[in-house]
Chains A and B, each alone.
Chain A
Amino acid sequence: DGGITQSPKYLFRKEGQNVTLSCEQNLNHDAMYWYRQDPGQGLRLIYYSQIVNDFQKGDIAEGYSVSREKKESFPLTVTSAQKNPTAFYLCASRGTGTGAFFGQGTRLTVV
C-alpha cells in the first residue's frame, strides 16, 4: 500500500542538540516538502525538493538542513541554530497532476 511515512511521531530535543526527522515515500513522487506548523497556525514551507540531489529553501529554512540522496527519502535535520524548534513537522510528496500527500507528522519538543 503506497504512502508516506514520518518517524518518529514524537521527538524530544535538548538545548544545543541536532535532531533528524525521517520522511520516506513509496509513491514514486519526484517532489517532496517539509512544513512547520505551530499551534493555531497554518503551514510554513521549510525546504522542498523537486528531484534527487537537488533541494531549495522555503520561507523559513534558517536553522534547518535537508538531503535528497534517494527519491524515496527526504530527511530534515533541525540544528542547534534553530532557536525555537518546538512545533509539529509535516512531510509531503507530490507527483504529476496530483495534490500533496502528507505523512502523519512529527511533534518535536525542546526539553
Chain B
Amino acid sequence: AQSVTQLDSQVPVFEEAPVELRCNYSSSVSVYLFWYVQYPNQGLQLLLKYLSGSTLVKGINGFEAEFNKSQTSFHLRKPSVHISDTAEYFCAVSDGGYGQNFVFGPGTRLSVLP
C-alpha cells in the first residue's frame, strides 16, 4: 500500500518569492506521482505528474517538481509566486492500477502575501 506525507500544513510566502511544497511517499512498488491544486469551493486540478522518464517534471502555472527515488520525495517548486497561487495543494501517489491505491496527502495550504 502507498502513503503520502505533506509535512507542511500551511506555507505563507510573500509575492514574487520562491516556494517549495514538500511531499514524501512510501511504496513497495514503482509509483506514479501527482500534484493537484484546489481553489476554494472547486474540484482538484492536475498541476503535473510523473509517470516515468525525466525526473524533473514541468506543469501548468509555472510549477515544477522533481522525483527523487532515493529520498522518496516529489517536492513542488515555483521560482516566483503570485497572489493567484493561493490555494490548497495535494500530492498523490498511485501504483498505476485503478484500484484503491490512489492515495492523497493531507494537503498544504499555500498563502501568498502581498
Contact = CB atoms under 8 A, between A and B. Distances in A.
Interface in A12-39: 30-31, 33
Given A99-B46, A102-B43, A105-B42, A94 B105 contact: no
B96 A105 contact: no
Interface in A73-111: 88, 90, 92, 94, 97-105, 107
A108 B105 CA distance: 23
Contacts of B67: none
A3 to B, nearest CB: 10
B104 A99 contact: no
Interface in B32-77: 32, 34, 36, 41-46, 49, 51
Contacts of A88: 41
Interface residues of B, number: 23
B98 A97 contact: no
A99 B100 contact: no
A42 interface: yes
Contact of B100 (A45, A103, A104): A45
B28 to A, nearest CB: 20
| List of 10 A-B pairs having minimum Cβ-Cβ separation, nearest first | A102-B43, A31-B98, A42-B106, A50-B98, A102-B44, A99-B34, A104-B43, A43-B104, A105-B43, A99-B49
23 contacts: A30-B98, A33-B102, A41-B106, A41-B107, A42-B104, A42-B107, A43-B104, A48-B98, A48-B100, A56-B99, A58-B100, A90-B44, A92-B44, A94-B98, A94-B102, A97-B32, A97-B96, A99-B32, A100-B44, A100-B102, A102-B45, A104-B43, A105-B42
Interface of B: 32, 34, 36, 41-46, 49, 51, 90, 92, 94, 96, 98-100, 102, 104-107
